[in-house]
Amino acid sequence: MSESSWVLHVDLDQFIAAVEVLRRPELAGKPVIVGGRGDPTERAVVSTASYEARAFGVGSGMPLRIAARKVPDAVILPVDAPAYTAASEEVMATLRAHPGAIVQVLGWDEAFVGVRTADPEATAHEIQRAVLDRTRLHCSVGVGDTLIRAKNATDFGKPRGVFRLTAENWLDVMGDKPTIELWGVGSKISKRLAALGIRTVTELACADEAPLAAEFGPKMGPWYRQLGRGDGSAVVDDTPWVARGHGRETTFQKNIVERAEIEAAARELLTQVLADVAAEGRPVVGVGLKVRYAPFLTKTFVHKIATTFDRDTVIAETLKLVERIEPDRPLRLLGVRAEMEMPDDAREGHTPTRGGW
C-alpha cells in the first residue's frame, strides 16, 4: 500500500478528571467532578466529570450544586489550571515527536495531527501508546480525510478507541444523525435548520443552497451544507495560535444590584484583562461585556473601538457597555473582554493611536 495524507484528531479521554486521578490514584473508578473552588455551596459550574459521574447525568457547564445533588457521593475538586496546562504540554510534545507529524493544537485536550501513512489506524494506535507511555493518559483518535470527518470520527472511538470516517462511509455512519451531532453545529443552529425542514445530516448534505443562504448568509449557508457532507480542508495547520482577545469573568456569591458595585467589579476585571493584553503587545480594537441576570439569563454586548493602546480609552468604552445593563436587576455574573488587533490586520496598515499601558 502506498502512503497518503491523513488527518488524525487526538482527543484525551476525560482529560481534567484523568489528571486529577493520576495525582490521587485512590480516586480511580469513583465519580469525580471538577469545578470552581470545589465547593458545591458556591456558585460555580462543572469543568469536567469522570465517566463514572457522567453516568449520573453530570456534564460540563452544569451548576456545581446540581451536580452534587445528582451524585451525593462524588468527589468534588477545585480547578487547577496550571496542572492541566503542564499535562497538556507533555501530550502535545509527544504528538510533535511522532515522525513527520504536523500538529495543530485545539485546546488542552485535543489536537489535529497530519500524517502520511499507508495505515492510519496503525499510526493512531502508535500515537495512543506513545501518549500513554509518556503521560499515563488515554486518548481516542478519529481518522479522516478532512478535518471535519476526523473530528466527528473521534466520538465513535471514545473511550480509548480509533474510528475512521471518510467520504466513503460518511453518510452511512452520520447520515441519520441529527445535525447537532456535527462539529460546528450547536443547539441554536440545529433549531434554525429544523425550521427549514433540515433535521438530519443527510438532509443537510442534500439541502438546496438558496434557503440556507437566505437563513444564514451567502457564506455560512453553503458552509453548513459542506459540514453536512463532511467536506472541507484536509490541511493541518501548525501555525502557532494567536489569541484574538482576552477576557475575565466572575460569578458573584451574592447577586449585586447597585451600579457603583457593578462598575467597581468591571474595573477590577478590566485590570486583569489589560494586564493580559499588555503582555501581548497588540492594540485593542473592540470591547465586550457579558452579564448574567438572576436567575440565569445571559446577555452579551460588544462594541468596536478605534485601534488603541490607551488603557483609559478601553476602560471608558467598556463602561459605556456597563450603562446598558438593566437598572435594578440583580446580577449573578459579570465578564469583560478586550479584542485585539490580529497580526494580519497590522500588516494591512492599521495605525494604532499613541499611548501606553
From first CA to last CA, the distance across the chain in angstroms is: 59
CATH topology of domain 170-229: DNA polymerase; domain 1 (1.10.150)
pLDDT for 356:
42
- Ranges in the chain annotated CATH 3.30.1490.100: 245-347
- Write down the pTM of the prediction: 0.81
Q: Which one of 26, 89, 90, 110 is the catalytic residue? A: 110
Q: Tell me how far apart the alpha carbons of residues 190 and 278 are, in angstroms, rounded to a whole number.
A: 39
Phi/psi at 113 (nearest 5 deg)? -130, 120
pLDDT over 60 at 241, yes or no: yes
Mean pLDDT over 134-147 rounds to 98
pLDDT tens digits for 53-81? Answer: 999 999 999 999 999 999 999 999 999 99
Which CATH number applies to 245-347: 3.30.1490.100, 3.40.1000.10, 2.30.40.10, 3.40.50.2030?
Answer: 3.30.1490.100
- Ranges in the chain annotated CATH 3.40.1170.60: 11-142+155-162
The dotted CATH code for 11-142+155-162 is 3.40.1170.60
Q: Cα Rg for the chain, rounded, in angstroms?
A: 23
pLDDT over 60 at 351, yes or no: no
DSSP 155: H
Share of the chain above pLDDT 90, in %: 92
Phi/psi at 290 (nearest 5 deg)? -120, 130
Q: What does the mean pLDDT of the chain come to?
A: 94
Cross-strand bridge partners of residue 184: none
Opening angle at CA 189, ends 188 and 190, nearest 5: 95
Active site residue 110: yes
Mean pLDDT over 210-219 rounds to 95
pLDDT for 296:
86
- Ranges in the chain annotated CATH 1.10.150.20: 170-229
